[in-house]
Amino acid sequence: MSNWNIYEKDREKFEKKIFEEFPEFFRNADDPMKSLMCFGVEIDPGWHDLIYKLLQDIKALNPEEGFEVVQIKEKFGGLRFYTNFGTDEIFELIHKAEDDSYKICEICGEKGKLRNDIGWYLTLCNDHYKERKQDLISKKQLLS
């Protein structure tokens, strides 16, 4: 059975990278009263490039002083990216990235599709979908 926590290390590396490269967006990352980033980026590696690109594009727009990313997470198979405020241009970039996440496997970054018959919603490529499904079947066999 595969271990779905093997990406923990990649997540930590990714967090470190974006906190270092975009410190102004994560100023309150340690303060749970102001930001949920203290809980980390609970995203598998397939979307890391998408998020990184989004941060770069936002930075290129030169957001107003005080602009912050307060949470990055996966919900119902899609990327959710929350900021404390923003402009139309920034929100357009965010919505585009959130839409794109439904076409990218969260595990590997290959072409993916939203799946809803594997226990919950996840966007996965065919291979990771099959793997996940196999996992689910073997877990059910263990329980019965």
Does position 128 bind Zn ion by CB under 5 A? yes
Among 41, 50, 69, 107, binds Zn ion (CB under 5 A): 107
Pick out residues in 86-105 that bind Zn ion (CB under 5 A).
Answer: 105
Member of 70, 108, 114, 118 binding Zn ion (CB under 5 A): 108
d(CA 136, CA 96): 32
Stretch that binds Zn ion, among 6-14, 30-38, 91-99, 121-129 (CB under 5 A): 121-129
Site for Zn ion in 1-20 (CB under 5 A): none
Q: Using CB under 5 A, which of the segments 9-17, 55-63, 81-89, 106-114 binds Zn ion? A: 106-114
Strand intervals (E) in 22-101: 69-75, 78-83
Q: Which is nearer to Zn ion, 56 or 116 (CB)?
A: 116
CB of 10 to Zn ion, least distance (A): 14
What is d(CA 73, CA 57) in angstroms, rounded to the nearest whole number? Answer: 19
Can you state the angle between helices 48-60 and 88-101, rounded to 10 degrees?
170
Name the E strands within 26-136. Answer: 69-75, 78-83, 113-115, 122-124
